[in-house]
């Protein structure tokens, strides 16, 4: 990514609840480790049951998250746009994706892999202390939505 692209991603990370409490320098370092991908309308970004190793931040566009249940029902979890993040549990564990995410319009996301986050955490453990309360709140919010 170019320096301008890194600064743009870092700026969006400042709007994301998960990263908002990090310093500007921490967000720039994380953004420098991220890659960006573009998705067309209707394209599956992540599929429920697939391997989970990255967190996604929507830079532009809109996404829809749905979850399928064992008994065949499908539930709409949320439709969101810029600065929405998903897949954060993939940064923590090796479990499969718990929902499917589809682009509702042309969408660009920044991806942070588990390995890149771990490299940053080794060099700056303060990042972990800033992320733990946000991830905990996110888990509780998602559990409430699923119920």
* pLDDT in the model for residue 146: 66
Q: Would you say residue 26 has pLDDT above 90?
A: yes
pLDDT, mean of residues 82-87: 93
More confident site: 75 or 27: 27
Tens digit of each residue's pLDDT (9 = 90 or more) over 56-67 = 999 999 999 999
Between CA 78 and CA 75 the distance in angstroms is: 9
Give the CATH number of domain 3-146; options: 3.40.50.1820, 2.30.40.10, 2.60.120.10, 3.30.930.10. 2.60.120.10
Report the distance separating Cα 115 and Cα 93, nearest Å. 12
Q: Please, is 131 exposed, middle or buried when counting C-beta atoms within 10 Å of its C-beta (0-12, 13-18, 19+)? A: buried
Q: pTM higher than 0.85, yes or no?
A: yes
Per-residue confidence (pLDDT) for residue 145, from 0 to 100: 66
Bridge-partner residues for 75, per DSSP? 67
Q: Is the separation of the CB atoms in 19 and 10 below 8 Å?
A: no
Residue 73 has pLDDT above 70, yes or no: yes
d(CA 3, CA 7) in angstroms, rounded, equals 6
3-state secondary structure the chain: CCHHHHHHHHHHHCCCCCCCCCCHHHHHHHHHHCEEEEECCCCEEECCCCCCCEEEEEEECCEEEEEECCCCCEEEEEEECCCCEECHHHHCCCCCCCCEEEECCCEEEEEEEHHHHHHHHHHCCHHHHHHHHHHHHHHHHHHHHHC
- Tens digits of residue pLDDT in 106-135: 999 999 999 999 999 999 988 988 888 877
């Amino acid at each position: 990514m170019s320096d301008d692209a890194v600064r743009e991603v870092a700026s969006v990370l400042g709007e994301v609840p998960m990263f908002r409490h990090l310093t500007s320098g921490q967000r720039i370092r994380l953004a420098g480790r991220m890659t960006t991908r573009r998705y067309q309308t209707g394209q599956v970004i992540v599929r429920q049951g697939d391997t989970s190793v990255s967190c996604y931040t929507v830079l532009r566009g809109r996404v829809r998250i749905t979850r399928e249940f064992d008994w065949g029902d499908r539930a709409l979890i949320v439709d969101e746009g810029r600065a929405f993040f998903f897949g954060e549990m993939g940064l923590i564990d090796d479990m499969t994706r718990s929902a499917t995410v589809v682009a509702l319009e042309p969408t660009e996301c920044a991806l942070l892999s588990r390995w890149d986050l771990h490299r940053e955490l080794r060099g700056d453990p303060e990042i972990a202390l800033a992320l733990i309360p946000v991830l905990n709140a996110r888990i509780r919010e998602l559990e409430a939505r699923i119920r």
